[in-house]
Chain A
Amino acid sequence: MLNKILQSLYEADIRIVTGTPDGWIVPLIDALANDDRFQYIPAAREEECFGIASGAVMAGKKAMVMVQNSGFLNSVGCYATLCQKYQTPFVVLIAHRGGINDSNSYDPNKFRAFEAVTHGMNIFVHNARWEDLPAILPKAYARSIGAGEPTFVTVTEAPPT
């Protein structure tokens, strides 16, 4: 499945990916970081990811951000004043922690806050299964171009083993 996701990104010409680690997306981070077709840029803080991706797309390349839901919450100001204001199109893959598939005691508040903030900001969010990502991610990028804004795709569980 990871190979299919990478092939999908490659065929969509999405070659620059930046993110911060989350347990659910670590396998995808590892796969991207070890594939010479992609530049994976590990950021120290999630807010940077939205700046890095915006810079890449304003310089003419396609990009994707991968962060946990709390990482987006860390980045809301940057998202509003950079990504929305400059209309930077890219894909944001979110590990949406704290839902029905997540028993960690420290994650439910992230789920509630992400839901509240994205609803409050009227941000389009598409929830996907891991196995659907190869088809969804190119559509998400196409939507981001049409909408002139990042397109959020969430996963609510760990990838299948």
Chain B
Amino acid sequence: MKQLEAFELLTAFAEKHDALIVADIGSQSLWLKAVKDRVQNLYLSGPMGQASSVALGVAAAQKERLVIAACGDGALGMNMTSLATISYVAPKNLIVAVMDNGVYEFTKGLPTPTLGVKWAKVPGTFPGFKKTFAVDALDTISDPFGGPYFIHADIEPGPLPPGPGLPAVIAHDRFKNYLTGAAKTTASPQQC
């Protein structure tokens, strides 16, 4: 499966449940945006591997919303401890998805150290996770708010996604304003 196809499946699932998606830097943010630039998407263009942690914060703040973390396998490998934290906290409204192509796509396709990791066994290793689903079996999730769940997308390495991404502060403000209806709350111009 191509990464674009995996994000088409993930986006369709998210639209069905009006879910929020937090995507890692690089391929995940850009492929997600390429499929459909939803205001419910939060693109992380700076930190490597923080999608799962940021998504946990979003899930804690928006308990009535389903939240999906879209992680690269290399990125999640850099923040593997977040799986322990999520397992311990066990938010029912959080789903962690790993887009597993075995390479750092933006770094000349070097192999990721997570190559060969048995992602399907995440729930057994991190017991707060209820179950792993394949990305092409999302329709079998009967109770999306019964998580946390883990999604494994077995994808092939491919071309880099189209850009550009959304600037960071705009991504922040758009996401927050969608959720709160509030005016800009990040740094404001100095008053004269």
Q: Please determine whether B57 and A59 come into contact, CB atoms closer than 8 angstroms.
A: yes
Please pick, from B45, B60, B62, B168, the residue contacting A52 in the complex, using a CB distance under 8 A.
Answer: B60
In the assembled complex, the Cα of A45 lies from the Cα of B81 at a distance in Å of: 7
State the interface size on chain A (CB cutoff 8 A): 39
How does the 8 Å CB contact mask read for A43-65 relative to B, with 1 for contact and 0 for none? 11101111111111111110100
A148 interfacial by beta-carbon distance below 8 Å: yes
Q: Please determine whether A55 and B185 come into contact, CB atoms closer than 8 angstroms.
A: no
State the interface size on chain B (CB cutoff 8 A): 40
Q: Please determine whether B172 and A88 come into contact, CB atoms closer than 8 angstroms.
A: yes
Task: Report B162-189 residues with CB < 8 Å from chain A CB.
Answer: 168-169, 171-172, 175-176, 179-180, 182, 185-188
Question: Which partner residue on chain A sits nearest B185 by CB separation?
Answer: A145
Q: Please determine whether A85 and B46 come into contact, CB atoms closer than 8 angstroms.
A: yes
B residues in contact with A57, CB < 8 Å? 57, 61, 176
Distance in Å: Cβ of A76 to nearest Cβ of chain B: 11
A residues in contact with B88, CB < 8 Å? 42, 44
Main DSSP-derived SS at the B contact region: helix
Given A51-B53, A87-B186, A88-B172; A59-B89 close (CB under 8 Å): no
Please pick, from B47, B58, B85, B172, the residue contacting A43 in the complex, using a CB distance under 8 A.
Answer: B85
Q: Please determine whether A59 and B58 come into contact, CB atoms closer than 8 angstroms.
A: yes
How does the 8 Å CB contact mask read for B43-66 relative to A, with 1 for contact and 0 for none? 011111010111111111110000
A89 interfacial by beta-carbon distance below 8 Å: yes
Question: Which partner residue on chain B sits nearest A16 by CB separation?
Answer: B60
Task: Report A69-85 residues with CB < 8 Å from chain B CB.
Answer: 77-78, 80-82, 85
Distance in Å: Cβ of B95 to nearest Cβ of chain A: 14
Q: Please determine whether B44 and A82 come into contact, CB atoms closer than 8 angstroms.
A: yes
Q: Please determine whether A44 and B85 come into contact, CB atoms closer than 8 angstroms.
A: yes
A residues in contact with B89, CB < 8 Å? 41-42
B23 interfacial by beta-carbon distance below 8 Å: no
B112 interfacial by beta-carbon distance below 8 Å: no
In the assembled complex, the Cα of A85 lies from the Cα of B169 at a distance in Å of: 7
A146 interfacial by beta-carbon distance below 8 Å: yes
